[in-house]
Amino acid sequence: MSDSRTPAQIEADIVRRRERLAETLDEIGVRVHPKTIIGDARARVAATVDQTAGQAFVAVNRVVTDMKGRFVHSDGAPRLERVVPVALVVVGVVGVLALSARKRKA
């Protein structure tokens, strides 16, 4: 197989390949630098935290919407048949806690 390129073309090709090799080595140097590795790890952790926080927000929002639907009509009026019993239970629990706290102090 005969190479029909001139010595100048071969030399120019060698120069281009050296430049590409130098760029590749520079890029590898940047990628394996500790600051780059730490920065990439921090970015991955931040992305994971953001995703987890977003999923948690969606889950909490779903629960709040569901609970609101149980205690409020679609027109915004409270469902007294559900609100009153829950309010009575809350008042009872607070009362029991207050009485037990008084007994402990005495």
pLDDT in tens, 44-101: 999 999 999 999 999 999 999 998 888 898 898 988 998 899 999 999 999 999 999 8
pLDDT of residue 98: 92
Question: Is 105 part of a structural domain of the chain?
Answer: yes
Question: Is 94 part of a structural domain of the chain?
Answer: yes
Question: Is 88 part of a structural domain of the chain?
Answer: yes
pTM: 0.47
Q: What one-character DSSP code corresponds to residue 74? A: T
In 3-state terms, what secondary structure has residue 28? helix
Question: Is 16 part of a structural domain of the chain?
Answer: no
Question: Is 101 part of a structural domain of the chain?
Answer: yes
Q: Is the dihedral of CA 46, 52, 55, 57 positive or negative?
A: negative
Question: Is 91 part of a structural domain of the chain?
Answer: yes
What is the number of structural domains in the chain? 1
Give the span between the Cα atoms of 22 and 18, in whole angstroms. 6
What is the end-to-end Cα distance of the chain in Å, rounded? 106
Q: With the CA atoms of 82, 85, 89 and 91 taken in that order, what torsion angle do they form, in degrees rounded to the nearest 10?
A: 100
Which residues sit opposite 78 in a β-bridge? 72
Question: Is 47 part of a structural domain of the chain?
Answer: no
Question: Is 68 part of a structural domain of the chain?
Answer: no
Residue ranges making up the domain that contains 94: 77-106
